Amino acid sequence: MKKVFVLDFGSQYTQLIARKIRELGVFSEILPFDTSVEHFRKERPGAIILSGGPQSVYEKDSPSITAEIFNLGVPVLGICYGLQIMSLSLGGEVVASTKREYGFAALRVLDRKGILSGIRDGGQVWMSHGDKVSRIPPGFRVTGTTKNCKTAVIESPGNNLYGIQFHPEVIHTRQGKKILANFLFNLAGIEPNWDMESFIDTKTKEIRRQVGDRLIVCGLSGGVDSLVTSLLLHRAVKDNLYCIFVDNGLLRKGEYQRLMETFRKKFDLNVIGVEAEDRFLHRLKKISSPERKRKIIGEEFIHIFEEEAGKIGQIDFLAQGTIYPDVIESNPVKGPSSKIKSHHNVGGLPKDLPFELIEPLKELFKDEVRELAADLGLEKDFISQHPFPGPGLAVRVIGEVTRERLRILREADDILIQEIRKARLYDKLWQAFAVLLPVRSVGVMGDRRTYQRVCVLRLVQSVDGMTADWFPADSRLLSTIANRIVNEVDGINRIVYDITTKPPGTIEWE
Ligand code: XMP
């Protein structure tokens, strides 16, 4: 299978380039711009794409590239900054500009034989650049222009080198995908043969080869990634996979039982269920600092995991549900595509445990994991579930966590989710949950005064959890939820609605 390497010069669209290539049925991988040429010689990619980047090629410390890359005989496509750095390395000229060209432009197609085959003259493209190529390198021809850019597309078919000033990877470039397809299939001669079925097949064989008849252990969190990891491993090694699922007492209503049943009955996984509520609650006694809570829960999880793994016998491998964005975020490439999320994967295990790591999903994007999940038989409701934090309800019971407070929160949260689902809102939201405050307020129910806790409803929309908007829910829906919680949950007599965006707030309260 031929791979395409996308070299990241820091563009916010780098991941998008990799995604589009995979959508076209070709496996792609993002690498730092300074990956050694030796690596390419060894791996023999089908093509290399140079991404855009936020800097000017003339800026101090701007990322550059060795010209050797263009002599490997591997087809190369430079996009935006990638085009400029390619032009500069091959003897062309780039003019720095203080004015950015940003937005739509119409593409004049001068030649339809190469990368612009089948592309409409005058079609819309998306520009976002400051510098531009003022003199193209020897051996190249201009095949496309726009009003403000005379070198919008350049080609050197003899050397299989191509450059585009606009962004074919973004949706605003109407025929962008076709341009990428022209490059991959017509010019680089790559066969599209990457899809989920072939992924499952290759991965299963690869795991089988690597593991043989040794044992693997995998922690299940209740989320999609760890379950998909386990299902893939199960296909490969059957009962040599042991899964461990810990009830830390901080899960939602009925969650532990429901998940255990799914793991065992539906998927026939070998799961060790550990009911450890008492242990966690004991360690959380009198703790109200959010970070202390997270740390304690993380530590306790690791203790339990080690204890349970120790009981199984000689384990050689530890499987984790790491996915591609996690890999990119923890090995950031210089530039803005490397915005690092504060990673708080409680339940994630330290890498220095005495096992070899297996991370079968580490090349996949989230939506590819979802596709894989569906192919492996997971139901839609499970696949599209909202993110749930590793420390669970402990960060939603504000202040000290007690069994009684967890009971109250679980009931309220369950009602909220029931109503959100009934209103067909669940899939429109990034997260919806209840938070229990350590504050009591006075109320009146029937003829009696009440003095009970305050519950917050948090409904947010987000694309990636990095920023979020509060959801302007319908007042009738809010009213139904509030009435039900106050009437049905003993311990809550007041509901408030959180209208804080992130930033400056965060999604969770702790
Ligand atoms: P915040 O609250 O930082 O959350 O806006 C962003 C996203 O991360 C989730 N989150 C966590 N996930 N362990 C996790 O595994 C944690 O400690 C944790 N804290 C927040 C949160 O639910 C949201 O989706």
Per-residue pLDDT reduced to its tens digit, 393-414: 999 999 999 999 999 999 999 9
Q: Which pLDDT does position 324 carry in this prediction?
A: 81
- Please tell me the total number of residues recorded for the chain in this structure: 510
Q: Which residues of 328-354 are buried (b: 16+ CB within 10 A; e: fewer)?
A: beeeebbbebeeeeeeeebbbbeeeee
Integer angstrom CA distances of residue 279 from 27, 73, 276, 304, 394? 45, 61, 5, 10, 14
Q: How far apart are the CA of 471 and the centre of ligand 1, in A?
A: 18
| Ligand 1 site, residue 391, Cβ cutoff 6 A | yes
Q: Is the CB of 507 under 6 A from ligand 1?
A: yes
- 400: tokens are 């000290």
Name which residue sits closest to atom 17 of ligand 1, judged by CA.
344
pLDDT in tens, 347-371: 467 767 788 999 999 888 888 999 9
Average pLDDT over residues 76-88: 97
Instruction: Confirm or reject: Cβ of 390 under 6 Å from ligand 1.
Output: yes
461 close to ligand 1 (CB < 6 Angstrom): no
> In this structure, are residues 436 and 408 in contact, taking their beta carbons and an 8 Å threshold?
yes
d(CA 294, CA 393): 11
Domain spans in the chain, listed from the N-terminal domain onward:
3-187, 196-383, 396-497
Q: What pLDDT is attached to residue 325?
A: 75
Q: Which atom in ligand 1 lies closest to the alpha carbon of residue 347?
A: 15
From the CA of 359, how far away is ligand 1's center (Å)? 22
Residues 436-454: tens digit of each pLDDT? 999 999 999 989 999 999 9
CA nearest to 454, candidates 500, 400, 397: 397
- Rounded to an integer, the average pLDDT of 473-495 is 98
- Taking the CA atoms of 449, 454, 455 and 458 in sequence, report the sign of the dihedral they define: positive
pLDDT at 330: 58
Sign, Cα dihedral of 106, 110, 115, 120: positive
Which sequence positions are flagged as catalytic? 80, 167, 169
Residue-wise pLDDT for 224-278, tens only, equals 999 999 999 999 999 999 999 999 999 999 999 999 999 999 999 999 999 999 9
Give 99's pLDDT tier (boundaries 50, 70, 90).
confident
* CA 431 / ligand 1 centre spacing (Å): 10
The per-residue pLDDT for 342 is 35
CA of residue 344 to ligand 1 center, whole Å: 7
pLDDT tens digit sequence for 124-154? 999 999 999 999 999 999 999 999 999 999 9
Instruction: Write the residue with the smallest CA distance to atom 6 of ligand 1.
Output: 465
Instruction: Specify the pLDDT at position 189.
Output: 98
Q: Do domains 3-187 and 196-383 have the same CATH topology?
A: yes
* Range 396-497 classified under CATH 3.30.70.660: no
Residue 57: CB within 6 Å of ligand 1?
no
Angle at 195 between CA 376 and CA 10, to 5 degrees: 110
At 335 the pLDDT is: 41
d(CA 385, CA 405): 24
Domain 196-383 in CATH 3.40.50.620: yes
Choices 3.40.50.620, 3.40.50.880, 3.20.20.70, 3.30.2350.10: CATH for 3-187: 3.40.50.880
Task: List the residue whose alpha carbon is closest to atom 9 of ligand 1.
Answer: 389
**Above 90 in pLDDT, residue 160?**
yes
Q: Could you give the CA distance from residue 150 to residue 95 in angstroms, rounded to a whole number?
A: 12
Beta bridge partners of 461: 469
Q: Which of 221, 243, 245 is nearest to 233 (CA)?
A: 243
- Tell me what pLDDT residue 352 has: 73
| Mean model confidence pLDDT for the chain | 93
Q: In angstroms, what is the span from residue 464 Cα to ligand 1's centroid?
A: 11
Which of 312-326, 332-346, 451-465, 493-507 has the least mean pLDDT? 332-346
Q: Is 389 in the pocket of ligand 1 (CB under 6 A)?
A: yes
pLDDT tens per residue across span 299-328: 999 999 999 999 999 999 999 999 887 776
